[in-house]
Amino acid sequence: MASSSLFNGERAVVLVFISRVLFSLPFSLLLHGLSLSLLALSAFVVEIRAETSASLSIFKTRPGASSGILLGAVTLPVVMLSKLIQLSRAFALHEVALEELEYSTVQYWATSASSLSVLVFLYIIMLHAPDSTQHPGSHSSLDDKFTLCGMLVYVVACGVSLLTTSHTGFIMILNLLWVLCHGLAAVKLIRHFLNTFPSCASIGEALLVTTGLVLYFGDMLACTIVKAIGYISSSELGFAQYGIKRSEITTVIQGVILGLLLFPVIFKFVVQVWECSSRGYSEARTYNEIGRSFIFFSFLGVVLVVIIPSWMQFVNVFNLHPLLWVISFVFSEPLKRLSLCIYWVCVIYVSVLRFYNISKNSKIERILLRKYYHLMAVLMFLPALIFQPKFLDLAFGAALAVFLALEIIRVWRIWPLGQPIHQFMNAFTDHRDSDLLIVSHFSLLLGCALPIWMSSGYNDRPLTPFAGILSLGIGDTMASMVGHKYGVLRWSKTGKKTIEGTAAGITSVLAACSVLLPLLASTGYILSQHWFSLILAVTVSGMLEAYTAQLDNAFIPLVFYSLLCL
């Protein structure tokens, strides 16, 4: 296969992205860098093979998108490795505890193992599926041996790394089992996701989502196990020690989000029991709809008011009921926080009403119309991030919970809100959304929120919390608008992205940073961001936006955040 067909624009950007992180590794993280290199090489081989094979067509992926396997496999492991590099600097300066560094190490290996396990799963499917595109004399046998050797080296590197961070051999075995469970859970979850939600995501996007969910669930489970055991000291259960040291806001967000993610599974079972019990009767369909709606909202209320707060109080110390604690937190600074809430409501009301009318009566392309919401995100989140960061953390969690609840209502068509919500949301969809799931608003919200949440602990790079707002709210928006209106030179013959748009996006983000850095300095931040690293981070994320066929709202903020951490 020609080298020109092996390296397209997206893969070249990913290669630069990984190389930049590997170049910044301290000596203590060389094994992590080796594992990341093996993971990237494995993902590259699987993606190339997927392009020449029809065996992965058993999964109905999003139409018009490439597989995105390489980008999806390396993004979260690189994020965790960048965070480890940052914590290593802090540990050298005695600014973080050893337990935090050890727990982050286990999280890195869990994330990396999740991605590798999915790659192995995809590789096995392609290996055993009848494939008419393979030609005699191909080097598939050599590729198989090379891939197997790479996986063995990866396992050895993982074991050695966990051995150096574990206090005893028992803890190392426990950590290895913990990492293995993450990998198995990721394989199970991505199969379920691709089969349950066909045509909703590419394999790379599904890999990113499943790896993130497995890591998030694993963190919650680790915290619960430590609290349940209670009598075991930190030296005897080091893999989860840092997991219990979390703020009340983090506990509230995690409990609500994971509770809502698990809610449809339990509700589906309840609905099946309800339908079986009423099958023999001749009631009207309206009665069944009302009954299902009553069950839905009643059960949702029990989950949000009783079950989830009970878990929160179990894993963290709340002097009040968690919902009352949230209310108390909001009113602890009523003037600032309530004023901010009123400002948000006004911006949302004016923007949604205006853009909804435009979407119905105008011929403006949906992609441009949606960029106005990116600008709205800048107006809403930037002032709050500078002056009320903790309250913004909580607000992001509340917004995500509302989005999840509304999407569940829309998908299940819960009377009387399901159909109106579906009609309203369809006014803002484009080719990346399907009839089954509408994910663009989730990706925009999480793209802005994740860098802020991940920067809530130790952070010596003041721009990292702004990674999502800068890359999506400013860079992506300017690239689309300038490219659409003035773009002439295209990056590829088949793509729509233009050189003019990419240049505008990169320039606008750099201009915003030049204004933001002095402002942060005036509010007390100690500036330690090097301009060379900043320019490289902005350029790489801008080039990824130009070349990727994946959902850029999901990947670009994480890539930008990782590079800013360095």
Q: Tell me the pLDDT of the chain (566 aa) as tens digits.
A: 444 467 788 899 999 999 999 999 998 898 898 889 989 988 998 898 888 777 777 888 887 778 889 999 999 999 999 999 999 998 888 888 888 888 888 899 999 999 999 998 998 888 776 654 444 444 455 566 666 676 677 777 777 777 676 666 667 788 888 888 999 999 999 999 988 888 888 899 999 999 999 999 988 888 888 777 764 444 444 444 444 567 889 899 999 998 898 888 888 877 777 767 665 554 555 557 777 888 888 888 888 889 999 988 888 888 888 999 999 999 988 888 999 999 998 988 887 777 766 666 555 566 666 777 788 888 889 889 988 999 999 999 999 999 999 988 888 888 888 888 887 777 666 666 666 778 888 888 999 999 999 988 788 888 899 999 999 989 988 888 888 888 777 877 777 788 898 999 999 999 998 888 887 776 655 555 677 888 899 999 999 988 888 888 889 999 999 999 98
* Of 204, 195, 193, the residue nearest 60 (C-alpha): 195
Find all residues with CB under 8 Å of 491, minimum gap 6, and list them.
9, 497, 498, 499, 502, 546, 547
CA distances, 134 to each of 52, 58, 139, 401 (Å)? 8, 18, 10, 47
pTM: 0.91
Q: Rounded CA gap, 454 and 441, in Å?
A: 20
Report cis status (omega within 30 of 0) of the bond before 198: no
Tokens standing for residue 96: 């973080």
Q: How many CB atoms lie within 10 A of CB 360?
A: 8
Q: What is the 3-state secondary structure (H, E, C) of 64-93?
A: CCCCCHHHHHHHHHHHHHHHHHHHHHHHHC
With 0-12 CB in 10 A as exposed, 13-18 as middle and 19+ as buried, what is 538?
buried
Are the CB atoms for 367 and 373 separated by under 8 Å? Answer: no
